[in-house]
Structure 1
Amino acid sequence: MQTVLTAHYLDPTDRNWNATIDTLWQQAGAAQNPAFIPPHFVKSTFPRMGGLVVAFYTGERLSGIGLLFPRAIINNNRHYTLRLHEIHERLADAAVQAALAKTPAIIYRPTDGTTFTPTAPRPAGVWIGPPQAGDLDAITTLYRKVWGSQPYPPDLFSREFGPGTALVATVDGQLAGFLLGFLRFGCSPTAKNELAIESQVLAVDPAYRQHGLATRLKQEQARLALASGLHCIHWTVDPLQLPNAILNFNHLHAVAGEFVRGYYPVRNEQNLVTASRFGITWLPTTLHGRQGLSDKRQRFQLSNLPNVAILNEGLRLRSVFADPLFIAIEIPSDWTALQHRDLNHAMAWRSTTDELFATWIGWDRYVIYAVAGDAGGHHYLVGRPAGAWIW
Structure 2
Amino acid sequence: MVLTEPIVYKNIEGLKEIQDVVSFQEEIWGKDAVTPLPQLIAAAHHGGILIGAFNKGELLGFSYGFSGYKNGEAYLISHMTGVCSKYQNYGIGLQLKLKQRNWAVDYGYSKIVWTFDPLEARNAYFNLNKLGAYAKTYYPSYYGEMTDKLNIGLPSDRFLAEWDICSNRVKNTLAV
Is residue 276 of structure 1 aligned with residue 167 of structure 2? no
Q: Give the residue type in structure 2 aligned to 1:283.
A: D
8 A contact 2:113–2:160 mirrored in 1:
yes
Q: Shift of residue 154 of structure 1?
A: 2.0
How do 1:111-260 residues align onto structure 2 when only pairs under 5 Å count?
Answer: 124-131=5-12, 132-148=14-30, 149-158=32-41, 161-186=45-70, 192-260=71-139
Which 10-residue stretch deviates more, 230-239 or 142-151? 142-151
Q: Which runs of 5+ in 1 are unaligned?
A: 1-123, 187-191, 297-391
Q: In structure 2, how many angstroms separate the alpha carbons of the residues matched to 1:262 and 1:286? A: 30
Greater gyration radius? 1
Q: Give the residue type in structure 1 aligned to 2:88.
A: R
8 A contact 1:164–1:198 mirrored in 2:
no
Q: In structure 1, how many angstroms separate the alpha carbons of the residues matched to 2:37 and 2:47? A: 11
Q: Give the residue type in structure 2 aligned to 1:155.
A: P
Q: In structure 2, how many angstroms separate the alpha carbons of the residues matched to 1:250 and 1:238? A: 15
Deviation by residue 1:198-225 (Cα, 9 ceiling, x = unmatched): 1101111112113211111111111111
TM-score of the two chains, using structure 1 as the length reference = 0.41
Change (3 A) 1:171 1:226: same
Q: Shift of residue 270 of structure 1?
A: 2.5
Q: Shift of residue 292 of structure 1?
A: 4.6
Structure 2 counterpart SS, 1:211: coil
Q: Shift of residue 194 of structure 1?
A: 1.6
8 A contact 1:252–1:291 mirrored in 2:
no
How do 1:259-270 residues align onto structure 2 when only pairs under 5 Å count?
Answer: 259-265=138-144, 266-270=146-150
Structure 2 counterpart SS, 1:157: helix
Aligned to 1:43: none
Give the fraction of aligned pairs with identical amino acids, expressed as a percent.
Answer: 25
Change (3 A) 1:183 1:263: same
Instruction: Select the residue among 144, 149, 170 that pairs with 1:289.
Output: 170
Deviation by residue 1:314-346 (Cα, 9 ceiling, x = unmatched): xxxxxxxxxxxxxxxxxxxxxxxxxxxxxxxxx
Deviation by residue 1:215-259 (Cα, 9 ceiling, x = unmatched): 111111111111111100000000111221121012101000100
Q: Give the residue type in structure 1 aligned to 2:96.
A: L
Query: What is the root-mean-square deviation in Å for CA atoms of aligned residues?
Result: 1.8
Deviation by residue 1:14-54 (Cα, 9 ceiling, x = unmatched): xxxxxxxxxxxxxxxxxxxxxxxxxxxxxxxxxxxxxxxxx
Q: Shift of residue 164 of structure 1?
A: 2.5
Q: Shift of residue 136 of structure 1?
A: 2.6
Change (3 A) 1:175 1:252: same
TM-score of the two chains, using structure 2 as the length reference = 0.86
8 A contact 2:77–2:113 mirrored in 1:
yes
Q: Which runs of 5+ in 2 are unaligned?
A: none
8 A contact 2:18–2:41 mirrored in 1:
no
